[in-house]
Structure 1
Amino acid sequence: MRPVPISARLPCWPRTAFPTTLAPATARLRAHLLARVEPDGTVRDPCRSRVLESALLLALLDRTRLESSARLRLAHYLGAHRDSPRPLDRLLARAALHERPAEADLPDVDQFLAQAPDFTAPRRRALLHAILLLLGAIPTAELPPPEAFSQRGLHSWARVQVTAVKAVLAHAHGRPNLIDDQDLDLLRSTQHPGEVWEGNLLIHLCVLHALAPLPDHDQLTVEGIRTALRHQRADSGVPFICDEDTWLTANAASPR
C-alpha cells in the first residue's frame, strides 16, 4: 500500500462549516503549543503514574528487598488508590499491598476482555492472569492455550511481552520446559542499565518478573529495578511509558 502523495488535492471542509469562534481558539492553541517548544525543538511531557506498573514494581521490590525508601513511596501511592472507583486499579493496588481480595473484587475476565479485539483476547487473558498471579491476587490460573503465546505477525514489543508472560506462567505452573534459550535471549536483550527498552515500563517490569526467578539473574534484576526507579514520579508512582516526547514533537511539527 502506497501513501497518498502530499501534492494530491484532498477534499477539505469549507470555512463556512466552522463556527466563527474557531479562529481565536486556534490562535490560543497555537500560542500555547509554541510556548511548550523547548530550545532544542522538543515538546516534552512526561506520562503520569499508573497503578498497574506501580504495583508490579512494588512486587519486585518486595521480592528483592531493595530500595526501602522507594518501596515506601510506591506503597503510599498505591494506598491512595486502594479505594479507586476503577475496579481493576482497586484490585491491583490492594493486592500489591498484600491485602487479600474478596471474591467479589476479582474481575470478570470475559467482560474485561470484551473491550479488546477478538484476535488479542488470548494474549490479553494470559497477560491479565500473569499480573494477578504476580501480585498474589489469585492463587493460580489455567495455563493458556498455545495460541496465547504465538508470535506470528507481532511487533517487537508484543513479542517481548508475550515471551515474558509465557515465562511468568511457566514458572507459576512448574513448566520450565515451555521456555527455551531463544526466549531467554530475547528477554535479556531488552535489559541495559539505565535504559528502558522502547521506553515501555510495563514490558520492562514484566521482563524483570520473568527473569527474577532464574539462577544467575540477580544482578540483571537489580539493575533493571534501579532503571525503573529512575522514572518514579513526584506522586511516587511510575507510568506506563517513560514519556511521549517523540510522539508529541512529531505531531507538533506536522503540517496543518
Structure 2
Amino acid sequence: MRGHLAGLVDAQGRLHCPCRSRVLESALTLRLLADTGRHHQARARLHSFLESASAQPGGSAPDRILARAAMTRTPLPRAEDNDALAGFRHHTAVRKRMLMDTVLYLTGALGTLPRRAPEAFAAEGLHSWKRPEMLACRLIHAHHDTAPVAVADLEPLAAVLRGKRIHERNHLSHLLYLFALRPYRAHQRLVDAGIEQLLATQGADGGFSLSQDIDTWVTSVAGLALSEAGTDRALLDRICAWLAARQADDGGWSFTEGVAQTDTDTAYTVLTLLHRHSPARHAHTLERGHAYLRRIQNPDGGWPVYLRTNPSEAAMTGGAMTALADRPRANAAAIASGARWLIRNQQSDGTFERGWSLSEGNALFRAAHGLHAALDHRLLDPETAGHARRAVHRATSYLRTTQNNDGGWGHRHGSPSDPISTGYALAALGPTTRPTVLHAAGAYLSTLQQPDGGFDSVPDTASPRPIPLDLPALAPAYVLRGLTHAFPTPAQARPGQQQ
C-alpha cells in the first residue's frame, strides 16, 4: 500500500489527485451548453457520461433524476426517497436546501422554484466562493420570479468571471455564476468565455466535477499516512518541501493551488506532517501555521473550517488540537479550550456531528486524537482530563459496538462497510483495542486490496455537504493511516503519538 501511494507522488512531491466526474456539475453543464446551440462534441461526450451514470446500478436516486432531467428537459416528480438532503442535519442545511433546489431547477428536474425570503441568500461572514455563489442563487431566483435586478447586483459576479481562471477552482460556483448572468445580454461575452474555461476541464469520461483537483489537501493526507508508516525519507522530503512552499500569506493552506481561501482541514494535515518528518527544517513554516490556527480559533474554543466566527466543527477542532500539540506548551491554552469544546459537543451516543465527511468515523478519530494529545501532554486540569478520558471512551466504545459482521465499518451504524470508514475507525481505536476487533478489520481490508496495493471505496468526502466527492487517493491513504495506528511497529511509534 505504501508503494501504491508513493507511486502517485511526482518528482516535485505533489500527489496529483483529479476528482472523479459527478452528475451534479455534469448535468448543469449539459443544460448550460444545450441553450447555446454550440459545443456539439462536448455535449455529445457529456450526454454519453450522463447516460452511463444514470444506468449505474449503484447510483443514487438524485443522480438519476439530475441526469435524466438534463438529458430530456422533463421535470421529474420529487419523491422523498429521491431527496439528496433527506435526513441532513447541519448548520448549513437551510442554505444547502436552497442550493439544491436551484440546481434541480436549472437542470430541469424541478419545474418551479419555491419563494424564499431575502435572508435565505445572506452571505455575510461566508468564505470566498460562497459569497458570490449566494448572490448567483439570489439572481437566479429573482429572474425566475421576474423580480427587478439592479445592474450593480450583476457586477460582483462579472468581476469574478473576469479572472484568468475559474474562481477559487470551484466549478459548481462557476456554473451558478454563468446561469445567473446568462439572461443579461451585456454579459454574454463573459458567459461565453466562462463556458470555454469550463470546457477546458472536461474529463476523459466526458463529465465534470467540483474541481479539477484537490492536490494540496490530498498530498498532505497521503504524506501523513506515508510518514506514519515509515516511508523513504527522500520521498517525504520532497512532499514536505512541496507543501511548505504552498503556505499562504496568512500562514494557512488552501485545498489546492490557485485558491485564496485557506482552511483548518488542510493546515492540520500539513502541519502534522511537517512536524513529524522534519520540524527543524520547517520551523518557521510551523510557527506561522500554528499562529494561523490560534488566530482562527473561535471564542467558544472550537475551530471552524474557514473563518473565525463560522460555526465550530468537531473534525476541525480535533485536527487543530493534534497539530498544535506538536508544540504543547506554546499552544496549551488553545488546546485546552478545544478539549472543552469537544467534550461539550459530543453527542449522547458518543459520536460527533459529521462535517466534510459522510462517515461518522472521520470526526470520531480526529476528536479522539485531539483529546489524546491534550491528555498525553497533561494540558488539562484534573476535572477536564476526567471528562476527556470519558469522551474518548464513549467514542471508541461506539466504534467497537458498531463494527459490522464482515469486520468493517460504514458511513453510519448499519451502513455497508467501506475501506475509508474502516480506516477511520482503526485510527480512532488504536492498538489497545481487543485483538479480535482489529484482526477482523484487517481481514476485511485484505479482501478488498487491489493488485496494485490500492483500495477503491464509496466516496466519503462531501462538497458541498452532503453531496459526495470522489477522490480516489483518499481510500489507500486513510486505510494506511488506520492500519498504522492499529498495528504500529516500534519503528513507527514516537513519543506523544496518538493511538
> TM-score w.r.t. structure 2 length?
0.42
AA of the residue aligned to 1:112: L
- Whether 1:138 and 2:74 are equivalent positions in the alignment is no
1:70 equivalent to 2:45? Answer: no
Which residue matches 1:246?
A: 216
Distance 1:116 1:74 in 2: 33
Q: Are positions 1:89 and 2:63 aligned together? A: yes
Find the aligned partners of 2:136 and 2:167 in 1 and give their Cα distance: 14
Deviations 1:26-52 (A, max 9, x none): xx42x3333222122211111110001
- Residue 239 of structure 1: SS of its match in structure 2? coil
Write the distance in 2 (CA, Å) between the matches of 1:74 and 1:235. 8
Q: Which amino acid aligns with 2:65?
A: L
1:114 matched to 2:114? The reply is no
Look up the match of 2:372. none
2:129 aligned with 1:160, yes or no? no
TM-score between the two structures when normalised by the length of structure 1: 0.80
| Higher mean displacement: 149-158 or 232-241 | 149-158
**Aligned partners of 1:180 and 1:114: how far apart in 2?**
39
**Could you tell me how far apart the structure 1 residues matched to 2:136 and 2:89 are?**
20
Q: Report what 1:6 is aligned to.
A: none
Cα RMSD (Å): 2.2
1:219-230 aligned at under 5 Å gives the runs 219-230=189-200
Q: Name the CA distance, whole Å, in 2 between partners of 1:99 and 1:152.
A: 35
Q: Which residues of 2 match residues 125-204 of structure 1 at below 5 A?
A: 125-177=97-149, 181=152, 183-192=153-162, 195-204=165-174
- Structure 2: which amino acid aligns with 1:115? F
Query: CA 1:92 to 1:250, structure 2 compared with 1: closer, same or farther past 3 Å?
Result: same
Residue type of the partner of 2:196? R
Unaligned 5+ residue runs, structure 1? Answer: 1-27
CA–CA separation in structure 1 for the residues paired with 2:164 and 2:47: 23
Q: Supply the AA of the counterpart residue of 2:173.
A: I
Question: Cα–Cα, structure 1 residues 215 and 235, in superposed 2: closer, same or farther, change >3 Å?
Answer: same
CA 1:165–1:250 in structure 2 vs 1: closer, same or farther (change >3 Å)? same
| Contact 1:91/1:106 (<8 A) preserved | no
Q: How far, CA to CA, are the matches of 2:103 and 2:52 in structure 1?
A: 20
Q: Tell me if structure 2 keeps the 8 A contact 1:160–1:187.
A: yes
Show CA shifts across 1:139-159 (max 9, x none).
212221222111122111111
Q: Using a 3 Å threshold, how does the CA distance of structure 1 residues 108 and 123 change in structure 2: closer, same or farther?
A: farther
Contact 2:22 2:210 in 1 (8 A): yes
Q: 1:60 to 1:101 in 2, by over 3 A?
A: closer
**Aligned residue number for residue 80 of structure 1:** 52
User: Is 1:56–1:205's contact at 8 Å kept on the other side of the alignment?
Assistant: yes
Greater relative CO, 1 or 2 (CA 8 Å, sep 6+): 1
The number of residues matched between the two structures is 224
Change (3 A) 1:193 1:61: farther
- Which amino acid in the other structure matches residue 145 of structure 1? A
Answer whether contact 2:76 2:110 (CA < 8 A) is retained: no
C-alpha separation in 1, matches of 2:28 and 2:169 = 16
Match of 2:319 in 1: none
Cα 1:65–1:53, aligned 2, differ >3 Å: closer, same or farther? same
Of the structure 1 ranges 162-171 and 147-156, higher mean CA displacement relative to structure 2 is found in: 147-156
Take 2:164 and 2:23, find their aligned partners in 1: how far apart are those partners?
22
